[in-house]
Structure 1
Amino acid sequence: MQASPVTDTRAPAAALHPCRLRWNQPWQWLALGVRDVLRAPAIALFYGLCFWAMALMMAWVFRASPEYAMAMASGCLLVGPFMAMGLYEVSRQLELGGAPRFSESLTCWERNLSGMGMLVMVLLVLEMLWARAAMVVFAVFFDTGMPTTATLMQTLLRWENWEFLAVYAAVGGVFAALVFASTVVALPAMLDRGTDALTACITSMRVVCLNLPVMALWGLLIAALVILSMGWGGVFLLIVGPVLGCASWHAYRDSVAGDAAAPAGEEGT
């Protein structure tokens, strides 16, 4: 049976108004993400396998060259949102009452090719800076010899390495926060509304600034779920990855209003 066509409801790029969010909404986004995954399990499984493959690759890098682990993690953090675009499209089609199509989830980025290309270039530059910063931190602050995989935790937890751990975490946290703030609703907005990269990133940062505690909770939930799912060889990413991808679509839908919405400062709580 052929699926019903999905109507394109993308709004003009100028119609982007950040909305105020409530504390309980991140949990609602996760519940909606689970619902969408259950409604499109085959497509979700494909993207779950992709996320799992990323985890396996990162584990291999961690074992082979621990000094490149942060660079690999940053690369996955940048690639992950683009991979999740197919899941945004799944949730978008479900929201419009249509049946998700695997082929459309793979090619949805073509609707805003120029904007996506610009954002990819910006994030690639950011990833290279992040990787270089990680290597500099290792070179400057890690002076007890490069650890092997077997002795990594023992070496890192030695008292003389506290400065390295603090700086390493701080540098990684800054870059992670920057990527999160600039992309948390940017990619869904570009997919849904045809928004250009600059407008989408600025809107994403405005959403985060307006709802800093709630978006910080959302970021911590994402980080916690990803870290917890890395156990058992990252196999839990088969489920967690698609759920977070679909949930991120609903986070965008609650965070950005269209033409009829009031400016951010007038949104209700």
Structure 2
Amino acid sequence: MRSQTVRSSRPLLDGAPSVHHIEIDEPLDWLKQGVATFAQAPGHSLLYGTLFALACWGSIGLTWSMPWFALAFLTGLMLLGPFLAAGLYVAARQQESGQSVSIRDSLNLLWLRRTNLSLFVLFLGLITAAWIRLSALLFAIQFDALSPSIDSYLGMFSGHFDPLIAGFFLGIGLLLAITVFATSALAIPMILDRDVDPITAINTSLRAFAINWPGMLVWAASIVTLSGTGILTGFIGMVALFPLLGYATWHSYRRMVA
């Protein structure tokens, strides 16, 4: 495991921070560090994992009840994850500084950072809104209806979907996923740690992705693989995997941002 220096958490005064280069295999180190951080606060970690699992079950239940809002529910869940993980970032930050992990202190710090966090939420919300509107248009073209049924969604996985529309749908979804990952991979940890504005946080995250894209793609694949494992267990696995990924994300921020 590579060594790590704890850096100042004060707001930046001299412009955007520098970004460190990483090796392609370093995401494995972040996961190992995440396990160690988890072990130091298991109760706190499992609480956040349980909350995320409950959010997953709730989203699935709403999707079956109101399938025409499926994309909105599932996209909202993907956006909720990073913000639930914010408490995990604060817990890792507290451990680094030798403090005891405290939910109350976590909430206090989130409140202090509320302005920049809210602006970043707005940024992701605009991307989400554009995706929901575009996907609704694609579904309307395919099914000649503004409110597809659950059978229509399941038809996507059984081959009853126009290949051209499916290609647009998957291509745009992939582009959206890459955009969200590249802009937010380090943004929320950085806002929490240094109280920088969203533009600085997004710019730093983009530069980290551009400089370290091989390692960042490995990191993205690791997130997808572990998240997929959690989904296959009926989201029960997310109780442990969600905090693990949250802590590993914090360590990735600490490793790349000077």
Give the TM-score category using the shorter length. 0.7 to 0.9
1:16–1:142 distance in 2 versus 1, CA, 3 Å: farther
After TM superposition, give the deviation of residue 159 of structure 1 in Å.
5.7
Flag as ranges the 4+ runs of structure 1 deviating above 6 A: none
Match in the other structure for 2:211 = 210
1:213–1:69 distance in 2 versus 1, CA, 3 Å: farther
Q: How far apart, CA to CA, are the structure 1 residues paired with 2:25 and 2:244?
A: 17
After TM superposition, give the deviation of residue 93 of structure 1 in Å.
1.2
Match in the other structure for 1:262 = none
Asked if 2 retains the 8 angstrom alpha-carbon contact of 1:133 and 1:171, the reply is no
Q: How far apart, CA to CA, are the structure 1 residues paired with 2:78 and 2:231?
A: 14
1:106–1:176 distance in 2 versus 1, CA, 3 Å: same
Q: How far apart, CA to CA, are the structure 2 residues paired with 1:154 and 1:128?
A: 24
After TM superposition, give the deviation of residue 249 of structure 1 in Å.
0.2
Q: How far apart, CA to CA, are the structure 1 residues paired with 2:30 and 2:23?
A: 12
After TM superposition, give the deviation of residue 200 of structure 1 in Å.
0.6
The worse-fitting range, judged by mean Cα deviation, of 158-167 and 16-25 is: 158-167
Equivalent positions of 1:73-84 (< 5 A) are: 73-84=74-85
Equivalent positions of 1:19-168 (< 5 A) are: 19-142=20-143, 146=148, 148=150, 153=154, 156-158=157-159, 160-168=161-169
After TM superposition, give the deviation of residue 8 of structure 1 in Å.
9.8
The alignment's C-alpha RMSD in Å is: 2.3
Query: Sequence identity, in percent?
Result: 29
**Counterpart secondary structure, 2:48:** helix
Asked if 2 retains the 8 angstrom alpha-carbon contact of 1:186 and 1:203, the reply is yes
Q: What residue identity is the alignment partner of 1:252?
A: Y
Q: How far apart, CA to CA, are the structure 1 residues paired with 2:179 and 2:150?
A: 31
Asked if 2 retains the 8 angstrom alpha-carbon contact of 1:37 and 1:242, the reply is yes
**Counterpart secondary structure, 1:18:** coil
**Is structure 2 residue 10 aligned with structure 1 residue 11?**
yes
After TM superposition, give the deviation of residue 65 of structure 1 in Å.
3.7
Runs of 5+ in structure 2 lacking a partner?
A: 1-5
Q: How far apart, CA to CA, are the structure 1 residues paired with 2:79 and 2:139?
A: 21
1:216–1:142 distance in 2 versus 1, CA, 3 Å: farther
- Deviation per residue, 1:59-100 (Å, 9 max, x gap): 113323444333222212222111111100111111222221
Q: How far apart, CA to CA, are the structure 2 residues paired with 1:188 and 1:226?
A: 20
TM-score normalized with structure 2 length: 0.88
Q: What residue identity is the alignment partner of 2:35?
A: V
The worse-fitting range, judged by mean Cα deviation, of 20-29 and 108-117 is: 108-117
After TM superposition, give the deviation of residue 152 of structure 1 in Å.
5.0
Q: How far apart, CA to CA, are the structure 1 residues paired with 2:118 and 2:80?
A: 13
**Is structure 2 residue 163 aligned with structure 1 residue 197?**
no
Q: How far apart, CA to CA, are the structure 2 residues paired with 1:194 and 1:228?
A: 34
Q: How far apart, CA to CA, are the structure 1 residues paired with 2:116 and 2:149?
A: 42
- Deviation per residue, 1:15-42 (Å, 9 max, x gap): 5111111111111111111111111011
TM-score normalized with structure 1 length: 0.85
Asked if 1 retains the 8 angstrom alpha-carbon contact of 2:49 and 2:243, the reply is yes
**Counterpart secondary structure, 2:165:** helix
**Counterpart secondary structure, 1:17:** coil
Q: What residue identity is the alignment partner of 1:85?
A: A
